[in-house]
Structure 1
Amino acid sequence: MVVGVLALQGSFNEHIAVLKRLGVKGVEVRKAEQLQNVNSLIIPGGESTTMAKLAEYHNLFPALREFVKMGKPVWGTCAGLIFLADRATGQKTGGQELVGGLDCTVHRNFFGSQIQSFEADLSVPDIAAKEGGPPIFRGVFIRAPAILDVGPGVEVLANIPVSSDKYASSDLSLQGQKENSDSGKEVIVAVRQGNLLATAFHPELTADNRW
């Protein structure tokens, strides 16, 4: 088993370190042809617009999309979540290219700037049932996105409460507002769809390796 980590920018070193700690071979991926040598892929957190520009420069998007379509496991954290989303809002002028494959709408930098980064306890009963450990995970959110809505084939793994003010200023669709208002103003921060896993937070910055 060889796990590739997209190493254009961001926290790829941290993911490589976790893989090494788990006894799994992790390799940095910067070129399309390197994807042929890995069984699965991690798209790490970082500055999503910068990562997208570098991926476009290296002509990585076609190969990344093909990797996803082949059904190989892909995990996106933070900016990686944005990459995997089919739809994105709250982007910079001109937007950014997406890999897609994950049937969801993500809001880039939903939780604000770098100084508004935070940690929070997340309820993760499904992860605990499958991987063991406590039903709570301490999530590290750094300029984090949030998932506003998901398609019927997407499994929600974790939500987080948000304030009414934050919720009202996030450009949510009417559909998203209705869906979340029933659960007390929450947004989604972790999902799984087939071969795709995505988290708005950074598990690689914690000692909890269940993800």
Structure 2
Amino acid sequence: MRIVLVGPPGAGKGTQAAFLAKNLSIPHISTGDLFRANISQGTELGKQAKSYMDAGNLVPDEVTIGMAEDRMAQPDAANGFLLDGFPRNVSQAKALDESLKAQGVALDAVLDLEVPEDEVVKRIAGRRICRNDSSHVFHVEYSKPKTEGVCDVCGGELYQRADDKEETVRKRLEVYHNETEPIIDHYKAQGLVVTISALGKVDEVTARAMAALGADQK
């Protein structure tokens, strides 16, 4: 099964992608992982991406597309994949269409995780991270520490990252609406979009997604 996962920041795409990929026995291909792998391995595309990133510029679509095409050509993706964070705009979506068409394959579905904007802001702006270990994550409403501002695990100080502040979250949502959301209409025209609510517990959303994709959950 070949799937594209879309949704606003804070929709839980990364979490759902990992569970769905495991349930469907396909690789989870995220843009972040592509960039890290290519840069760490020193590939030509990685070098190009790093030069743009070091200069504080956005990586051009053709570089991102090249990385995605290389990854989708790997043996473990022969029977399908789940794309997370790519395509990010209509130009990338059209390039993906052409790439898959050239291989004689096509997407099976575009899974759209729907979350109300106010909930997105609440989810992200409420996050608090431990200064000692960023894997220790709490939330002022959904996962409160026993003592306010103190990590339950190591006693470190909890803080709000700059990109989690409400003003920044709303700017990220604006970018999503302007750049990424239009790909949903692009794929709706192809009859590929399956929209589900991303509200509720993680396992509930996963079950909802698997049902929408017509797949059995392991």
TM beyond 0.5:
no
Query: What TM-score do you get using the length of structure 1 for normalisation?
Result: 0.33
Higher strand share: 1
Query: What TM-score do you get using the length of structure 2 for normalisation?
Result: 0.33
Structure of larger gyration radius: 2
